[in-house]
Amino acid sequence: MFDGGGAGGFDMSNLLAQAQAMQDQLMKAQADLETQEVAGSAGGGLVTALVSGTGELLSLDIKKEAVDPDDTETLADLIVAAVRDASENAKAAAAQAMGPLAGGLPGFGGPAGDVPSPELPGGGIGFTKPSGPPGQNPV
């Protein structure tokens, strides 16, 4: 049972305040990403793609030297590579912006207790990697 935050107790109002502050920070970071523009290029700058921080393709710039009517396949490859580069750059920007928020609440896992995950920068969602053989309870 919770005693409202006394010695050795659990302060639910403090936890809720921390959760609200994290939610506010997360919403601000997401809004900032929506307005951010990130570029990527291919072919030494022959094709440049511009995406939003959320990964939405905003524009393509194709230099005249990249256009060969007899070789549209190379141009298509350059476009795909430029968009992919811009998307990866946007993911990196999002990871940097959201990284501090991915740690979770203090005392509930996070960077100190989590195993880093490529899907979630800074660690998982408050769980640690179990030890022992698969299908068994951790030791």
Nearest-angstrom CA–CA distance, 57 and 67: 21
At 56-95, the pLDDT tens digits run: 899 999 999 999 999 999 999 999 999 999 999 998 888 8
At 87-132, the pLDDT tens digits run: 999 988 888 877 766 655 555 554 444 444 444 444 444 444 455 5
The CA-based diameter of the chain, rounded to the nearest angstrom, is: 78
> Buried b / exposed e across 11-37, counting CB within 10 Å, b at 16+?
eeeeeeeeeeeeeeeeeebeeebeeee
At 13-48, the pLDDT tens digits run: 888 888 888 888 888 877 887 888 999 999 999 999
Burial tier of 51 (Cβ tally within 10 Å: 0-12, 13-18, 19+): buried
Is the model's pTM score more than 0.75?
no
Angle between helix 12-35 and helix 72-98 axes, rounded to 10 deg: 150
Helix (H, G, I), strand (E, B) or coil at 57: strand
Instruction: Please list the residues that pair with 38 across neighbouring strands.
Output: 51
